[in-house]
Amino acid sequence: MDKNYKQLKLWQGLVVLAFAALIIFVVSPKMLAPFGLYGTLLAEWLMLAGALLLVLVFRGDPKQLFPVKRPSAGGIFGTVLMWVGALLIEMTLVLLLSIFFPERILNVNIGLSTQMINVPFIAAFLIVAVTPAICEEAIFRGVFLRSMNPEKHRWAAIVVCAAVFGIFHGDPVRFVPTAIGGAVMAYILLESENMVYNSIFHFINNLLPIILLFGMSGVYEKLGVWDSQGSLNMAAVQGSYTFMLSAGLYMMMCAAAPSCLYIGNYLLHSGRPGYRDKLFPGGKPGIVIFLVAASGMLFIGGLVLFLFGMMHMPVTLI
């Protein structure tokens, strides 16, 4: 580290976090809410600008806090695979929660979808996918994660950063999936020392729902899910699928998650001096046994849940 810079202390990271919280939980809902998603855009960049100013005041090293290097093809593909694995886990957990709290899950998703569908695609793309991949990554995986001295307390820093990231998204039902994604992104950054990879993860994670929402909007309207004004029909949504069936299907697909995370992690490290040159190191059959066992349990659990949902599905929906 350059002698003109200093290692950020935890209290300094907490100050940056407190400023971000002020913008998200006070300034945004009280002053920027009338602008909808455009207010969210302003809040994100205001949050980043304030954080960067505080980093300068604290004399933090930008190269350490925001490491940006040329990504490798293997690293990008590994990041995408890890995102697939994390997404399958997140969606499975959300759908399992929806069995017990259906209205709460629907209300959160409806609120987010309604905001996105009522702005042009390019605006939603920039606000929902691009901006958080830059602003939120710089604050949470850049400043705050580094302030916890992850070189000495790696897993504690990952867990705390993930929990805080989940809390900042403002709703209990979004905490678990958001925290899981936050943990994987923190791990990716610490392992790669390249913020490009976790920003790619964040970008595609936020881009997918935009593509699905806008790509399927015409279908949703014909099914009565969306009306011509872009409002969502609660009765149509609740009657269009069974949460238990969906949870079972996703849990079966989630059987691929352990392998996606494992292979993605291997590709993320590919080419690094001293890292193993084989996907499955010799003499360690426990890795294969664990992956097969984890995948098998997820698939069987999902199949049981799916069949149970089929047995109890209303006859009119079969």
pLDDT above 90 for 295: yes
Note whether 37 and 115 are within 8 A (CB).
yes
For residue 82, give Cα distances in angstroms to 131, 184, 187, 268.
21, 8, 11, 9
Percentage of residues in the chain with pLDDT exceeding 90? 58
Q: Please name the residues in contact with 98: beta carbons below 8 A apart, sequence gap of 6 or more.
A: 105, 106, 243, 246, 247
pLDDT tens digits, 151-163: 999 999 999 999 9
Give the closest residue to 318 by CA, choosing from 300, 309, 250, 98.
309
Q: Quickly state the pLDDT bin for 183 (edges 50, 70, 90).
A: very high
**Arithmetic mean of pLDDT, 276-292:** 84
Q: Quickly state the pLDDT bin for 35 (edges 50, 70, 90).
A: confident
Give the closest residue to 162 by CA, choosing from 188, 180, 136.
180
Length of the chain (residues): 318
**Arithmetic mean of pLDDT, 252-275:** 91
Read off the amino acid at residue 303: L
Q: Please name the residues in contact with 309: beta carbons below 8 A apart, sequence gap of 6 or more.
A: 242, 244, 245, 247, 248
pLDDT tens digits, 232-261: 454 444 544 467 888 898 999 999 999 999
Q: Please name the residues in contact with 273: beta carbons below 8 A apart, sequence gap of 6 or more.
A: none
Work out the angle at residue 217's Cα, subtended by the Cα atoms of residues 215 and 223, and round it to the nearest 5 degrees. 130
Predicted confidence at residue 251, as pLDDT, reads: 93
The residue among 154 and 4 whose pLDDT is bigger is: 154
Predicted confidence at residue 216, as pLDDT, reads: 62
Tell me how far apart the alpha carbons of residues 127 and 140 are, in angstroms, rounded to a whole number. 18
- 73-87, 277-291, 295-309: least confident range: 277-291
Structural Rg of the chain based on CA atoms = 21
Q: Which residue has the tokens 């238990």?
A: 244
pLDDT above 60 for 220: no
Cα 61 to chain centroid, rounded: 26
Q: Quickly state the pLDDT bin for 37 (edges 50, 70, 90).
A: confident
Average pLDDT score over the chain: 86
Q: Which residue has the tokens 């000495």?
A: 152
Percentage of residues in the chain with pLDDT exceeding 70? 84
**Arithmetic mean of pLDDT, 128-141:** 96
The residue among 188 and 221 whose pLDDT is bigger is: 188
3-state secondary structure the chain: CCCCCECCCHHHHHHHHHHHHHHHHHHHHHHHHHHCHHHHHHHHHHHHHHHHHHHHHHCECHHHHCCCCCCCHHHHHHHHHHHHHHHHHHHHHHHHHHHHCHHHHHHHHHHHHHHHHCCCHHHHHHHHHHHHHHHHHHHHHHHHHHHCCCCCCHHHHHHHHHHHHHHCCCCHHHHHHHHHHHHHHHHHHHHHCCHHHHHHHHHHHHHHHHHHHHHCHHHHHHHCCECCCCCECHHHHHHHCCHHHHHHHHHHHHHHHHHHHHHHHHHHHCCCCCCCCCCCCCCCHHHHHHHHHHHHHHHHHHHHHHHHHHHHCCHHHC
pLDDT above 80 for 203: yes
Work out the angle at residue 163's Cα, subtended by the Cα atoms of residues 196 and 203, and round it to the nearest 5 degrees. 30
Q: Quickly state the pLDDT bin for 173 (edges 50, 70, 90).
A: confident
Q: Which residue has the tokens 């569908």?
A: 117
Neighbours of 197 (CB within 10 A): 24
pLDDT tens digits, 57-83: 999 999 999 999 999 999 999 999 999
pLDDT above 90 for 212: no
Q: Which residue has the tokens 């850049």?
A: 142
